[in-house]
Amino acid sequence: MPKSPEALLEFLGKLGIEAETHRHPALFTVSDSQSLRGEIPGGHTKNLFLKDKKDNFFLVTVDEDAQVDLKTIHHKIGAASRVSFGKPDKLMEYLGVEPGAVTVFGVVNDDQHRVTVVLDADLMDNDIINAHPLTNEATTSIGRDDLMRFLEAVEHQPLVLKVTE
């Protein structure tokens, strides 16, 4: 059973990580997010759940306005072949979220380490990173260094790479 948003926020608290969560109507696209979020400071994320032909899975987290070339990203992230989007059933199985709620926080549910986390270097220039806390009905703001501590705590060493155009 995947962790709930409340369990995620409790976990962050146990790690001593300060996170501020803003509730809002469900957001399904970057455009939705930009129009409804108000003035939440920091970098806002777009997340791509990708797989290669050898069933290696990647969670690529970039700035909401970033352009990603899906025809060439496999070279940058170390995929075995060109990538495609992972299926919703694998998204739920591995990250415990549904399409529209994909988030870097989903790796809290990946206790078998089946997903490689890739953070875009440009996104990591932000002091504050904003992502859905396992639901697209909220946005959680977390410090960049605290995001790295969270990923370390869930045993996911991210690749920090320039993956955007």
- The pLDDT tens digits for 60-74 are 999 998 999 999 999
37 pLDDT tier (thresholds 50, 70, 90): low
1 pLDDT tier (thresholds 50, 70, 90): confident
120 pLDDT tier (thresholds 50, 70, 90): very high
40, 47, 71, 99, 101 from 78: Cα distances, Å: 33, 17, 13, 24, 25
DSSP category for residue 95: H
Encoded amino acid at 106, one letter: G
What is the mean predicted confidence (pLDDT) over 4-30? Answer: 88
- Locate 156 and state its tokens: 């996911």
What is the mean predicted confidence (pLDDT) over 130-152? Answer: 95
**Whether pLDDT at 118 is above 70:** yes
Cα 95 to Cα 90: distance, rounded to the nearest angstrom: 8
Contacts of 164 (CB under 8 A, 6+ apart): 62, 63, 66, 67, 68, 120, 122
pTM above 0.85, yes or no: yes
